[in-house]
Amino acid sequence: MRSFAFYPGPTLLAGAGQTETLLARLPGGPVLLVTDAELRRLGLAEALLAALARSGREVRLFDNVEADPSRATLLAAVAAGRAAEVASVIGFGGGSPMDVAKLAAYLIGAGDDLDAIWGVDVARGPRLPLALIPTTAGTGSEATPISVITCEGGVKLAVNARPLVADVALLDPELTIALPRHVTAATGIDAIVHAVEAFTSARLKNPVSDALAREALRLLTVNLVRACDAPEDLDARGAMLLGAHLAGLAFSNAPVAGVHALAYPLGGMHHLPHGLSNALMLRPVLEHNAEAARELYAELAPIVDPACANAGTQGRVRSLIDGLERLCVATGLKLKLRDHGIAQDDVPRLASEAMKQTRLLVNNPCEISERDARRLYEAAW
């Protein structure tokens, strides 16, 4: 056996009706609840707020988190938590509220300066007790030690450090029923990309992350269209949540790569949802990687398209790429940059911005130069 390290995620609670169990794992005292205004409007946070009230905890509600949360939003959440002298933090929502909650818990607990902790394993201080409750099946943020924040000029910076791993996470499929179809689709594709990129990561890939990535890909590809077409199907919703969580565990150990690197500028510059950005760049980047990652892509292909199991490696690679694209189309996502208002003239800047994602590009199975990035954006246009 070759040497490797695998870091587990939070204690996991799965299924409906476990909010009280989650709260029992947090200390008493004031709690900072980080969410967004849309979830409040939909009423999804009301059961959690009622449970917090029954527990006797004072709640400092911060519901101003936007998609691709900004540095200013994060610092406002930290200030709110400090002013209320909170004893714990709960993140409730998609990846954006959970990312803000993770860093808020750390910054309040450790007292570090944000600009001193960007990067991998730089943040080493203590954080406040932290619970995460995803309402989308996609980011896997509840499983990971990663928080991504949009900074000046639309540049996305990340803190990736073990102290950001939550104490407990709750997967409740009932919380995802109200999601619009396009959100279910985009977040599901995000999770699929996590699984594929973790399995083919050039750094830190290991047998445990591989097993999680394969099972995540199976759960996600079987259930994504079902969850889109029948949103109240709790079995499909639960499978999507579990798949996203397993993919999160996989990529927090074997990090993501080129698809994410090229997706980030689409979110930072054009404010496209992260999952949609990944869907847009999925085929171009997989085709770029096809030879370097041929054996690994061929291993994944029968999960996506069982009919290709007896094909040669090149045939299976083609089946994987075509099968993932068919899945995106079946959910209703439009897969060209021009469909989302992005001009072809933006390609050079997109490519330049993608080159700043060095922490991701280093994980790709083969090099992506700025010239390559231009070509891949053009292919997606």
Mean pLDDT of the 54-75 span = 96
Which residue range is the domain that position 150 belongs to? 11-175
- Phi and psi angles of residue 64, each rounded to the nearest 5 degrees, phi first: -100, 15
**CA 73 centroid distance within chain:** 19
At 95, the pLDDT band (50, 70, 90 cuts) reads: very high
Pair 305, 364 in one domain: yes
Pair 319, 372 in one domain: yes
- Whether 137 is covered by a domain: the verdict is yes
Virtual torsion, Cα 45, 220, 362, 344, nearest 10 deg: -80
Pair 73, 146 in one domain: yes
- Phi and psi angles of residue 207, each rounded to the nearest 5 degrees, phi first: -60, -30
CATH number, domain containing residue 85: 3.40.50.1970
Q: Is 90 exceeded by the pLDDT of residue 156?
A: no
Count of domains forming the chain? 2
**CA distance linking residue 360 with residue 279, whole number of Å:** 17
- Per residue in 5-31, pLDDT (tens digit) is 999 999 999 998 899 999 999 999 999
Pair 125, 238 in one domain: no
The last residue of one of the domains, among 122, 146, 175, is 175
The last residue of one of the domains, among 116, 145, 175, is 175
Indicate the angle between helix axes 207-229 and 313-331, nearest 10 degrees. 40
The last residue of one of the domains, among 127, 149, 175, is 175
- Whether 2 is covered by a domain: the verdict is no
What confidence score (pLDDT) does residue 1 get? 77
- Whether 1 is covered by a domain: the verdict is no
Q: In sequence order, what E strands does 151-259 have?
A: 156-160, 168-171
Pair 75, 192 in one domain: no
Pair 164, 139 in one domain: yes
Q: What is the gyration radius of the CA atoms in the chain, in angstroms?
A: 20
Pair 216, 150 in one domain: no
What confidence score (pLDDT) does residue 354 get? 96
What confidence score (pLDDT) does residue 154 get? 81
Between 68 and 345, name the one with better pLDDT: 345
- Is 166:8 a contact under the CB 8 Å cutoff? no
- Whether 58 is covered by a domain: the verdict is yes
- Per residue in 336-345, pLDDT (tens digit) is 999 999 999 9
Q: Is 80 exceeded by the pLDDT of residue 247?
A: yes
Q: Is 80 exceeded by the pLDDT of residue 139?
A: yes
Q: What is the mean pLDDT of the chain?
A: 96
Pair 144, 188 in one domain: no
Pair 195, 297 in one domain: yes
What confidence score (pLDDT) does residue 153 get? 84
Pair 250, 331 in one domain: yes
